Structure 1
Amino acid sequence: MPLKPIEHRLEERFRRYSAITTQSDPHNLGKCIPSTPGQQVLAELLAGELRAMGLQDVICDAHATVTAVKPGNVPGAPRIGFIYHLDTFDSGLCPHVKAQKIHYTGGDVCLNAEKKIWMRLQEHPELNKYVGQDILFSDGTSVLGADDKAAIASVMEMIASLDSREEKHGDIIVCFVPDEEDRLGRCEASRRQGTFQRRLCLHARLLRARGGRVRVLQRGERDDQIYRCLGAPDVGQGRDGEPAADGCRLCFTF
Structure 2
Amino acid sequence: SRGVSPVLAASLIHAAVDEVLQADLTEFKQQSVETEGEGDEERFTLLDGESLQRCFFNKLRDVCFEWQKQLPPLRPLKRFLLVSIHAIRNTRRKMEDRHVLLPEFNQLFGLSDDIDRAYFAVFDGHGGVDAANYSATHLHVNVGLHEEIVKNPAEALKCSFQKTDEMFLFKAKREKLRSGTTGVSALIVGNKLHIAWLGDSQVMLVQQGKAVTLMEPHKPEREDERARIETLGGCVTYMDCWRVNGTLAVSRAIGKINHQNWYSSD
Normalised to the residue count of structure 2, the TM-score between the two structures is 0.29
Larger radius of gyration: 2
> Which has the bigger relative contact order, CA under 8 A and spacing at least 6?
1
